[in-house]
Amino acid sequence: MRLRHLKGWLYLLPALLFLGCFMIYPLVDVLIYSLEEGYNSASQTYFGVGLYNFSYVLHDPYFLQAVKNTLLLVVITVPLSTGLALLISVQLSSIPKLRDLYQTVFFLPYVTNTLAVGLVFMILFKKTPYSDGMINALIHLFGGETVDFMDGPYWAKMLVTCLYTVWIVMPFKILILTSALASVNPDYYKVARVDATPRWRIFTKITLPMISPMIFYLIITGFIGAFKAYSDEVALFGVNLNAAGMNTIVGYVYDMLYGDSGGYPSYASAAALILFAIVLTITVINLLVSRKHVYYA
């Protein structure tokens, strides 16, 4: 019996080793860093153990700005991108002819590099000595007042960031949702039609429950993804996000580790743990809400 136990553990060893090295050890390490006060990465010494790092991070205006930016981004882009993706998928499913073409077009952002997309957004929005950007040109054409989207007011920068995020996360959602819609048995729709079910009722009472697991999956991963936003902001505003006032929580962590103000692994760890706590809370809330509304076949 004992030998068999031993054998079992032996089989598990590679996976356990891998998980231990790359998951558990870093997690524990982050926890330790976050509790070591005044840690110096050069001399590898610290003064004491306590919660000062958390207190520092929570009082750092840069961190608070990053939290605000991230939360705004999450609250705006997740519902917007999921809703839009659902709308587009439903419309796509109801046109038989050019569906493949449209699907390809909608999927393009997914296969395009973030930085290349950032460049396109620059052309659209950035003011340079030579041009005001395409959007400003359009605003000007219709008699509006031009805005500096990249270096101007906060709301303008936030708008561009949200647009960018929505645009870049939508293709994957459309892909998932169109396949979810296609997997609904057409007999349900036929029966509903024979029973004179109005279109909106078919959508809310049949289609939505049928694809609810996929919508839920997209919302959860959407929340997590938006909380981890960083590279999109870099693509738009460059590496000095604090100067642009557009930093995110992950950006703050990165800055603390490697940025100009870098070399503070303890602060970075504390910020990372705070992010973890936020994401965990949101996900648990999501799971609780989903129990009521998600139907699994």
Partner 1 sequence: MRIYLEHVTKSFPSQNRKEKRNVIAVNDFTYEIPDGTLTGLLGPSGCGKSTTLNLICGLETPTSGKIYFGDDDVTLLPPESRGVGIVFQNYALYPHLTVLENILFPLQNLKGPEKLSKAVMLDKAREAADLVQISRLLERRPKEMSGGQQQRVAIARALVKRPRVLLLDEPLSNLDARLRLQTREEIRRIQRETGITTVFVTHDQEEAMSISDQIVVMKEGIVQQIGKPQTVYDDPVNLFVAKFLGTPPVNVFSGEIRSGQLYLGQAPVLPFPGGRDGPVWVGIRPEGFVPSPDGPLVCSTRAVEVMGRDTSVVCTHPAAEAQIRAIISSEHDVSGDTVRFQLKPAKVHVFDRQSENRIYPA
Q: Interface with partner 1 by CB under 8 A: which residues?
A: 185, 187-188, 190-198, 201, 205-206, 209-210, 295, 297
- What phi and psi values does residue 48 have, to the nearest 5 degrees? -165, -175
Nearer Cβ to partner 1 (214/249): 214
The residue among 6 and 194 lying less far from partner 1, judged by its C-beta, is 194
Tokens of 9: 């553990």
The CB-of-102 to partner 1 minimum distance in angstroms stands at 22
Specify which residues 40 forms β-bridges with: 45
Q: Nearer to partner 1 by C-beta: 44 or 185?
A: 185
Closer to partner 1 by CB, 212 or 283: give it. 212
What distance in Å separates the CA atoms of residue 85 and residue 172, rounded to the nearest whole number? 9
Give the integer Cα–Cα distance in Å for 194 and 241: 57
Nearest Cα neighbor of 74 from 177, 238, 225, 176 is: 225
What are residue 48's DSSP bridge partners?
37
Task: Count how many Cα atoms sit within 13 Å of the Cα of residue 235 in the half-sphere of its side chain.
Answer: 20
95 vs 297 by CB, closer to partner 1:
297
Read out DSSP for 26-42?
A: HHHHHHHHHHEET-BTT
Residue listed under structure tokens 């819609």: 181
CA distance readout (Å), 34 to 178, 252, 253, 257, 264? 43, 15, 12, 13, 10
- Which regions of the chain does DSSP assign to beta strands (E)? 36-37, 48-49
Q: Give the gyration radius of the chain's Cα atoms.
A: 24
Nearer to partner 1, 130 or 200 (CB): 200
Closer of 211 and 226 to partner 1 (Cβ):
211
Query: Within its chain, how far is the Cα of 126 from the centroid?
Result: 24
Token pair listed for 172? 């994957």
